[in-house]
Structure 1
Amino acid sequence: MATAKTVKQRIPSQPTSDGDGVKIQRIAAFNNAATSPFLMLDELKSDESRDYIGGFPPHPHRGIETFTYMMTGHFQHRDHLGNVGELRDGGAQWMAAGRGVIHSEMPIMTDGQLHGFQIWINQPAKDKMKPAKYHDFQPEVMTEFTNDKVGLLRVLAGNITADEQVLSGPLQEIAVETILADWRADPSQTITLTVPSNHNTMLYVYAGTLVVSGTEIHSGELAILNEGDTVTLTAQSNVGSLLLSGEPLNEPVVHYGPFVMNSIEEIQQTIEDFNNGVFETY
C-alpha cells in the first residue's frame, strides 16, 4: 500500500557568491545525511549582468557529479579534457568529476534574464577515482508530461511515475539511482509522484508556494520529506519547483572547496595532486 510523504524539515536558501563573484542562492547540505546523495543546490537568478558576468573561471573538481539546468539563459562549459558545450534555454549538462577535471562555466542571459540551477551529487567511494565524464542535453530531449490537471512536469534525470504515467528523463548515468524533475503549475493544479521508498526526497521551490500534505513550501525553501513512496503536490499560486530524489550513500563525506572525498587523507592527496599538475595528465 502506498504511503504518502510529508514534510520533515524546511531549509531556506542563503545568499552567497562563488566563482568570479557570481551571486547565487545556496542550499549547502554536505553534513546532512537526510539529503544524501545530494550535497548542494545553487540557484542562479538575475536580470543584472553584473551579478554573474565573471562566471566561473577554470577550477578543479574531484569526487562529485554536477548537474546544471538552465531554464532561462545559456551556459557554456569547457574542460581540460576537450569537452565543450553550450546549453540553450531549458537544457541541462552533467559532469562526473571522478579523479579530476578542470573546467570553466560561463552563464549568458536570454532577453535580459538568467535563471538556472547547479546541483552537486556525491559520487560513491568506488567511483571517485574513475575517469571524468560529460554530457549535455538540449531542451528537445527533455521528457515532458502536461495536461490541465497537473500543469507541466519536465523529467530531467532518472525514472518517475506521475499520475500513473511512467516517465524517463534523458540522463540515466548518475552513479546512484537519482530522479530530477521540474514541476510548474497554476493555482489549484495538482500532481502525485511515485518514487522509490528507499530514496531521500526533497523539493526546492523557486517560484510561488506549493502544499505537501498540508504544509506550505515557499519560494527559496528546500523541503526534506519523510519516508514514503508517493508525494502529492498542490499549487497554491503560480509555482515552480525542483524534485530531487536519490538513493542515499552511507559513506563519510569530507568536503574542501571543490573536492568531496571520504577522508581527510584523501582530501590532502587531492590538493597535492592538483597543485602538482596531476589533474592535467588525466
Structure 2
Amino acid sequence: MQKFELRPGARPMVRGLASQASADGAGVKIQRVAGFQSPDFSPFLMLDEIRSENADDYIAGFPPHPHRGIETLTYMLNGEFEHKDHLGNRGAVSSGGAQWMRAGRGIVHSEMPAQAEDGQGGGMHGFQLWINMAAADKMGDPTWRDIQAREMPELALDGAGSLIRLIAGHWHVDGEDREGPLTEAAAEAAVGDIRLAADAEVTLPIPADHSVLVFVYRGALETERGAIKRGNMLLYGDGETLQLRAHNEGAGLLCLHGRPLREPVAHYGPFVMNSREEIEQALRDYNNGTLTD
C-alpha cells in the first residue's frame, strides 16, 4: 500500500484517544471516550460505544435518570432501544435508527434495550454521543424525537461501495450540500456514519471553524501516524478538508464535526453546566423535585 500522505489543505491528525472500558446505567458495559475539559473535543463531550453479543452486558439498560445542560444522540447499528421521559415521549429505534434528546433545564428519561423473543438478546452495537449546549441555551425547554433508518440519506463516496449515512447536521458530499434529518443539534453538530471499502480513500470538505473527531468502530484507518484500529477516537487539527483512507480490511467510522463553544465546562454525573454553583443548583433542583419545572 502506498504511504499515507496528507494533501494540501487536509487536516492533520493531532492525537488519538483509546476508549476505556466502563459501566453505566444499571451496569451496562460500555467503551467510553470522554473529553469534557478538552477544547479540541468541543462541542462534543463524550462518546459511549455499546458492543456485545451477550445480553447480560446490556439488558439492564438505563432506568429513569436526569440530565441538564446537554443534548444526547443515540445511534444504533444493531439492536433496539426504547426511550421514555417525564414529558410523555416514548419511542423505539432499531438498527440504523437514532434518537435525539435536548435536556435543556431538565429531563428525566430512561433508555431500555429490547429483549429478543427467545430471551437471548440478539446482540447490541450502538453509540451515545453527548453534545454540549451553549450557556445561553442550557435552561431552555427539553425536547426529544426519534429518527428512523429510512430517514437518513445514504450517499455513495466512490465506486467501490464506500458510503456515508447522514445522521445530523450539514455536509458537502460529491460537490453538493446535503444534510441529515437532525439539523437542530447544538453548536451546528454534524454526525455521519462512514463505511469505507478496503484501501478506499475519500476527502470531505469541513467548515474551517469546526472541530473534527473520528471514532473508528470497525477495521482500521490509515493516518500519517500509522494505522489506527477500532476503539479509538481521532482528533484533527486545522484545515479545509478531512482526508480518510481505510486499511486493507476496510473501516467503519463515526465522523463528528461542530462549532467549538469555548465556554467553561462543569460536569458532575448527568449534569453539564458552566460553573460549580450551577451544578450544585442542578443537584438541589433534582433532590427537591424541581429539576424539570
TM superposition score normalised by structure 2 = 0.92
Counterpart code for 2:150: E
Give the 5 Å matches for 1:98-109: 98-108=104-114
Match of 1:143 in 2: 153
Residue 35 of structure 1 contacts residue 200 of structure 1 at CA under 8 Å; is this kept in 2?
Answer: yes
Query: Which of the numbers 5, 11, 28 marks the counterpart of 2:11?
Result: 5
How far 1:112 sits from its partner (Å)?
A: 1.6
How far 1:160 sits from its partner (Å)?
A: 1.0
Counterpart code for 2:96: G
CA distance in 1: counterparts of 2:267 and 2:96, whole angstroms: 30
Alignment RMSD (CA, Å): 1.6
2:251 equivalent to 1:239? yes
Return 5+ residue gaps in structure 1 as ranges: none
Counterpart code for 2:154: E
Match of 2:4 in 1: none
CA distance in 2: counterparts of 1:239 and 1:109, whole angstroms: 29
How far 1:165 sits from its partner (Å)?
A: 3.5
CA distance in 1: counterparts of 2:122 and 2:161, whole angstroms: 30
Match of 2:193 in 1: 182
List structure 1 segments (4+ residues) > 6 angstroms apart after TM superposition. Answer: none
2:163 equivalent to 1:152? yes
2:269 equivalent to 1:265? no
Counterpart code for 2:155: F
Match of 1:112 in 2: 122
Counterpart code for 1:138: Q
Counterpart code for 1:125: A
Deviates more, 1:205-214 or 1:225-234: 205-214
Match of 1:77 in 2: 83
Q: Report Cα offsets for 1:181-229 as digits up to 9, x if no partner.
A: 0111221222211110001101000011112456422100000001112
**SS of 1:238's equivalent?**
strand
Match of 2:3 in 1: none
How far 1:148 sits from its partner (Å)?
A: 2.1
Count of aligned positions: 281
2:38 equivalent to 1:32? yes
Match of 2:97 in 1: 91
- The percentage of aligned residue pairs carrying the same residue is 47
Return 5+ residue gaps in structure 2 as ranges: 1-6
Query: Which of the numbers 214, 222, 234 marks the counterpart of 2:233?
Result: 222
CA distance in 2: counterparts of 1:138 and 1:119, whole angstroms: 17
Deviates more, 1:103-112 or 1:263-272: 103-112
CA distance in 2: counterparts of 1:105 and 1:238, whole angstroms: 31
Q: Report Cα offsets for 1:35-67 as digits up to 9, x if no partner.
A: 000000000011000001110000000000000
Residue 59 of structure 2 contacts residue 115 of structure 2 at CA under 8 Å; is this kept in 1?
Answer: no
Name the CA shift for 1:172/1:2 in 2 (closer, same or farther; >3 Å): farther
Query: Which of the numbers 254, 268, 278 marks the counterpart of 2:266?
Result: 254
Query: Which of the numbers 59, 62, 84 marks the counterpart of 1:56?
Result: 62
CA distance in 2: counterparts of 1:194 and 1:246, whole angstroms: 13
TM superposition score normalised by structure 1 = 0.96
CA distance in 1: counterparts of 2:114 and 2:222, whole angstroms: 33
Counterpart code for 2:282: T
Residue 63 of structure 1 contacts residue 129 of structure 1 at CA under 8 Å; is this kept in 2?
Answer: yes
Counterpart code for 2:134: P
